[in-house]
Amino acid sequence: MQISVHPVAPEQRRPRPADDQLVFGRIFSDHMFRMDYQEGAWQNPRVIPYGPLELDPAAMVLHYGQGIFEGLKAYRCADGRIHLFRPLKNMERFNRSVRRMCMPEVDAQLHLEAIEALVRLDVEWIPRSVGASLYIRPTMIASEPHLGVRPAAEYIHYIITGPVGAYYPEGFNPIKIYVSDQYVRAVRGGVGEAKTMANYAASLFAAELAKKKGYTQVLWLDAVERRYVEEVGTMNIFFRLKDELVTPPLSGSILPGVTRESVIDLAKHWGIAVNERPVTIDEVIDGIASGDLKEIFGTGTAAVISPVGEVFYKEKSYVVQDGSVGEWSRRFYDEIVGIQYGEKEDPFGWIHQV
Ligand code: COI
């Protein structure tokens, strides 16, 4: 299928804010991609001016939450090259989420071409500085107007982009996380491993409680025993226990993060022992107390690598080491960001140049 391109008139292009004014997810570029699923097929893939979607009030996504999304970024290198980081991983995960939510798959190549077309047209929207990037948000929603509960027959796949800075106001400084032992995010066999909207809606209540207590994010425990660490609201979680890197396994209720996989690959490449195994919250708390737990950090596309300096659990707060950025967190951050911005070798072939 050929993507048609309908650019805005030059005088309607909006200015991009300065890199140091950027926050996460508030400003959007001039164009978006859209195609529609009707009568059993995707139709009319097109790049159009950014603007509102018209939806019937009975559109099924608005009632039953049949919708999914992805997140990836375009990076501008010092020499002007534009990089995407492992984009096909996102396209694959998009289709896994699609299947779990009974939606129609999107051809990965067409999806990538759509992103490339958008990035090329809005190249001026890509920030200049390291740490800032163009966030890309592919989304699919059920648009059929119908109130019976079943998979919809009509969908919209759209992609929006926008320049972003650091996800957390803390930047690369350590964040504080709040362990939720009262509320849970996802249960095995549920939709926790799909990037579906409901998982984020389910996270809001506990996240607000955490925020009121001064914590940046919630660390979720498993929904059955509330004993095993799963993931943080918008990131996977890693622990440096003695000299081993430990992260919870992909058990069905955890999002399979692209940055998570990249950290595991890098650690193995560097000869660091990596163990994907269940981690109990008691092990984390005991490790902090004994000093065996040397670092905690989160990984995600939006957050990149985010060191954790403090953990709150059962009315007590525990500072990880001295609460500063750990050596491994820094090393993974520098390497991944270096590869993304073309400042470091890419031995794994992760970079896709636009
Ligand atoms: C991402 O890391 O890209 C995410 O999708 C997390 C989030 C901002 C919801």
Domain 175-341 class, CATH top level = alpha beta
257 CA: nearest ligand 1 atom: 2
Place of tokens 């809005």: 122
What pLDDT shows up at residue 172? Answer: 82
Instruction: Out of 135, 200, 234, give the residue to mutate to test ligand 1, the one with the largest number of ligand atoms within 8 Å of its CB.
Output: 234
Measure the CA–CA gap between 205 and 186, rounded to whole angstroms.
14
71 CA: nearest ligand 1 atom: 3
Q: How far is the CA of 340 from the centre of ligand 1 (A)?
A: 17
Which residues neighbour 333 within 8 Å (Cβ) at sequence distance 6 or greater? 172, 304, 305
What pLDDT shows up at residue 173? Answer: 86
- Which residue has the CA at smallest separation from atom 5 of ligand 1? 71
Measure the CA–CA gap between 51 and 30, rounded to whole angstroms.
9
Pocket of ligand 1 (CB under 6 A): 71, 200, 234, 300-302
Q: How far is the CA of 301 from the centre of ligand 1 (A)?
A: 6
- The domain 4-164: what is its CATH number? 3.30.470.10
- Which residue has the CA at smallest separation from atom 7 of ligand 1? 234
- What does DSSP say about strands 351-353 and 236-241: parallel, antiparallel, or unpaired? unpaired
236 φψ region: left (φ > 0), alpha (ψ -120 to 50), beta (else) = beta
What pLDDT shows up at residue 135? Answer: 97
* The domains spanning 4-164 and 175-341 adopt the same CATH topology: no
Q: How far is the CA of 15 from the centre of ligand 1 (A)?
A: 25
Q: How far is the CA of 31 from the centre of ligand 1 (A)?
A: 21
- Which residue has the CA at smallest separation from atom 3 of ligand 1? 71
Token couple for 269: 């490449």
Could you tell me which of 188, 235, 35, 196 has the C-alpha nearest to residue 100? 196
300 CA: nearest ligand 1 atom: 2
Q: CA dist 149 to 60, 64, 65, 197, 243, Å?
A: 9, 7, 11, 17, 50
Residue ranges of the alpha helices (H) in the chain? 60-64, 87-100, 108-121, 197-212, 258-269, 281-290, 327-340
**10-residue stretch averages of pLDDT, the chain, 354 residues long:** 95 92 92 98 98 98 98 96 98 98 98 98 94 96 98 98 86 90 94 96 95 95 96 94 96 95 97 97 96 96 92 96 92 96 96 97
Residue ranges of the alpha helices (H) in 176-297? 197-212, 258-269, 281-290
259 CA: nearest ligand 1 atom: 2
Taking the alpha carbons at both ends of the chain, their separation in whole angstroms is 20
What pLDDT shows up at residue 170? Answer: 74
Q: Describe the chain by its helix, strand, coil percentages, rounded to 5.
A: 25, 30, 40
Q: How far is the CA of 333 from the centre of ligand 1 (A)?
A: 17
ipTM: 0.92
Which residues neighbour 4 within 8 Å (Cβ) at sequence distance 6 or greater? 44, 45, 46, 47
Measure the CA–CA gap between 175 and 168, rounded to whole angstroms.
8
Domain layout of the chain by residue ranges: 4-164, 175-341
Instruction: Out of 69, 301, 304, give the residue to mutate to test ligand 1, the one with the largest number of ligand atoms within 8 Å of its CB.
Output: 301
Q: Give 155's strand partners.
A: 37, 142
- Which residue has the CA at smallest separation from atom 6 of ligand 1? 234
